[in-house]
Amino acid sequence: MLISIDDYIKAGRIAAEVREHMRKRYHVGRTLLEICEEAESMIRARGGEPAFPCNVSLNEVAAHYTAEPDDSIEVRDGDILKIDIGVHVNGSIADTAVTVCYNPSYSMLVEAAEHALREAVRVARVGTKASDIGRVIEHTIRSYGLKPIQNLSGHSIASYTIHAGKSIPNIWTIGSFALQQGEVYAIEPFVTTGDGSGVVYNGDVSNIYSLVTKKRTGDKDADEFINMLWDRFRTLPFALRWLRDKDLRHARDMLAFLLKKKIVRAYPVLVEGNERYVAQAEHTMIPTNEGTLVITA
């Protein structure tokens, strides 16, 4: 597979800069909306585009929350917050995440996630089995007396496609593929407490969407809306916030209609099974024969 290495390097550099800015900032008292908008405007200011709405998932929510257009939820002292950032340059995607922690009881979760990611990167190269990466991640996390989330995983990345079909597990699993030359992968350990279930389920909220198909509906308004989504996002995920220049009530109605027709899909928030807190760390990398090029380092 031919990939544009320069675009990946640029996307990775931008994603890393935004992530490090977010790691250093003190977020208590800020709204999730401010955080998302800051991340996304930093991406655009550096010449990238968000590959998906900035994810800001608090505490027992492991992933897939993004701010609503009028979101007033604030980060409070005692929270842990996963900030997951996606950048694309001409469709070449970098995916990276950091957990900021305002609760000393959970700092070990963050440490374990970062440590597991470092160990995974250390073993990743052309030919490494995804199952061996999962084993290293699980072993590292369990050495802290903590649990990996077993139904969340890293993934292969392709042009304009965040999840390109291959999964890199966070636990040891039987049978898997080997990392290939010229492919791009995200590795993302998720960690919960020893008394967590280690499994996430779909929560009630869904506020990230993507276009599944450009199939016509026969309804003129809906077909125009589909064209607009394709022009702006192709099949990449988007948020209602990104349609602010449109009539939001109309956009909401259109999304509800297209969801029913399965032309648009929604991604529910993912919640820890025992509602225990979750930490995440993530890098995007391109394996080589010698090791791995971490584009979000």
The residues assigned a catalytic role are: 84, 95, 155, 163, 188, 282
Q: Which is nearer to Mn ion, 94 or 264 (CB)?
A: 94
Amino acid at 269: V
- Residue 253: CB partners within 8 Å, gap ≥ 6? none
| Least distance (Å) between residue 222 CB and Mn ion | 30
**Distance of closest approach, residue 63 Cβ to Mn ion, in angstroms:** 8
Which positions lie near Mn ion, rule CB under 5 A? 84, 95, 97, 186, 282
Q: How far is the CB of 188 from Mn ion (least distance, A)?
A: 5
- The nearer residue to Mn ion, 146 or 186, going by C-beta atoms, is 186
Question: Which of 56/101 has CB closer to Mn ion?
Answer: 56
Closest approach, Cβ 95 to Mn ion, in A, equals 4
Residue 60 or 282: the one with the smaller Cβ distance to Mn ion is: 282
Taking CB atoms within 8 Å and a gap of at least 24, the contacts of 203-207 are: 203/61, 203/268, 203/269, 203/270, 203/271, 204/268, 204/269, 205/65, 205/268, 205/269, 206/64, 206/266, 206/267, 206/268, 206/269, 207/65, 207/66, 207/67, 207/68, 207/239, 207/240, 207/266
Please tell me the distance from the alpha carbon of residue 201 to that of residue 66, in angstroms, as a whole number. 17
CA distance 266 to 255: 9
